Structure 1
């Protein structure tokens, strides 16, 4: 059955209902000869007759009856899927406001561009969110969805696609003792002051972005508390502390007075698209589905 044509299946199903070549042809907007051709092609694929045709009547063979019974449910489901997709596409219009924390790298920008090309009646507005408040704009309805750093353990938020899984790095001043290191371990973070994130970001989220202890339980000194990524980078450049961030953000914001040092022994950083459970829209679902594809 490899390479079966959907038109052959449509023809057979129409004929199974009409039991008349002329009416099936009218229903499909083709000639009777075309109906015969499509039926013959399908029967060759299967290797047996599906329809018996005499001068007086048309009827299904026993195999044809079984084939109809097997074919109808998945065919109807396929049509329903197409209809739902079409309805959803028609409903994706207007503006979808998407917040982001940190940096939108080229890969994410390309996915947003793909969404706008797919849904030409819908425009994406990008809104930068403060590092210290990754969830507030979503709750207040200022954005439809947000791309935020994980983890997300907010009971009122829906977690969509997770992407940009990247290793962690440490941004330090060019004068920092770690500046010339090829890498540092998670345990060595106990030797530096980590720049932390201010409230209202929840405690578990702040702990994930700037842990207060190493995996083995050694305390990590706390450096300055900042509200934005730029504040954190500036504090690191001024040698007030070290900023833990994902590799793409660190390299995107590289500056001459800082160094970027890979960190081993920590979970990778990841981004997730989130939206409020009471504010899900067709646009949000379509945007999530589009950016989930690399």
Structure 2
């Protein structure tokens, strides 16, 4: 199967209109229709239900759209990574949200710099929920992700830290003086929406980055449940209240599966070693499961 065929299918599946899809692709509609019919014959399944009024995806088509997008993203990512690997000056790009490293990154970068296989590290800051996408697109070599919030499919991971969650509220909030709360205590509160959340998610303001969120909380527009490390650099008008029954947050270093980069392997080893030492010195951290795999060196 050619990437051209996948691109044709994805365009039709996203537009659900052959004319708009043809215009988007810059081709005539008849060859696009023929290409889709040929694709269905080769796959042996119907991808679209068509009538005079509309085009809809079949169940098989919905699955193929999900998988086709991933395949096209993987091809584009491989091109970007290959181009970056061929640059005269090598570097490792790490993507993360601001203030989400649990205080580890400075030590990791210092220790990594002394490794024989180290290269320069560029830290790419991004908005909420963007790290995994940038890593999949090949714009980064590794990312700091957080379970259960980030999708780690297609990545190998090294778990670095496990922490509880806290409710971040204004000092005058009804929950501010509590020693701890449960999730049920948040009933009726306005909670923020992150980009890409489903339609049945909270109906509060859409938040794209941490500074915006803290400003909205300070203004009384919302509250938020965040990892407990969010309290390390909290504004003076905000307080953290532990949420006793919230699921733990696992901070992890992620990279593309089956990576063979020696410089990335060295970075993962350094991060894992320092995270283990950090856990030993901080008795409040929960035990962390072993990593799934590391890049081959």
Question: Structure 1 residues 181 and 285 mapped into 2: Cα distance closer, same or farther (>3 Å)?
Answer: same
Q: Give 3-state SS (helix, strand or coil) of 1:105's partner.
A: coil
CA-CA distance at 1:227 after TM superposition? 1.0
Shift in CA distance, 239/280, structure 1 to aligned 2, threshold 3 Å:
farther
TM-score, normalisation: structure 1: 0.56
What is residue 247 of structure 1 aligned with on the other side? Answer: 228
Partners of 1:244 and 1:267 in 2: CA distance: 11
Residue 70 of structure 2 aligns with which residue?
none
Match of 1:197 in 2: 194
Q: Secondary structure at the residue paired with 2:192?
A: strand
Q: What residue in structure 1 maps to residue 90 of structure 2?
A: 94
Distance in 1, matches of 2:132 and 2:246, equals: 24
Give distance in 1, aligned partners of 2:203 and 2:231: 20
Task: Say if 2:117 and 2:266, in contact at 8 Å, map to a contact too.
Answer: no
Large movers: runs of 4+ above 6 Å: none
Cα gap change, 1:102 to 1:249, in 2 (>3 Å): farther
Q: Distance in 2 between matches of 1:191 and 1:108?
A: 37
Q: 1:125 aligns with which of 122, 125, 139?
A: 122
- Residue 246 of structure 2 is matched in structure 1 by 266
| Residue number among 215, 221, 226 corresponding to 1:234 in the alignment | 215
Deviations 1:247-294 (A, max 9, x none): 112222x11121111111011111111123376522222211210123
Cα distance per residue 1:28-75 (max 9 Å; x no partner): xxxxxxxxxxxxxxxxxxxxxxxxxxxxxxxxxxxxxxxxxxxxxxxx
Structure with the largest fraction of strand: 1
Number of residue pairs the alignment of both structures matches? 184
Deviations 1:186-213 (A, max 9, x none): 22122422222112xx65xx99xxxx5x
8 Å contact from structure 2 (residues 118, 263) kept in 1: no
Task: Give the greater-gyration-radius structure (CA).
Answer: 1
Q: CA deviation at 1:120?
A: 6.9
Shift of the 110–280 alpha-carbon distance from structure 1 to 2, 3 Å rule, reads: same
For residues 177 and 119 of structure 1, what CA distance do their matches in structure 2 show? Answer: 54
What residue number does 2:266 align with?
Answer: 286
280-289 vs 176-185, greater mean Cα deviation: 280-289
CA separation of 1:184 and 1:130: change in aligned 2, threshold 3 A: same
1:249–1:120: structure 2 CA closer, same or farther, 3 Å change rule?
Answer: farther
Contact conserved, 2:117 with 2:263, CA < 8 A, in 1?
Answer: no
- Matches for 1:73-112 after TM superposition, within 5 Å: 94-103=90-99, 104-112=101-109
Q: Cα 1:280–1:153, aligned 2, differ >3 Å: closer, same or farther? A: farther
Please name the residue that 1:135 is paired with.
132
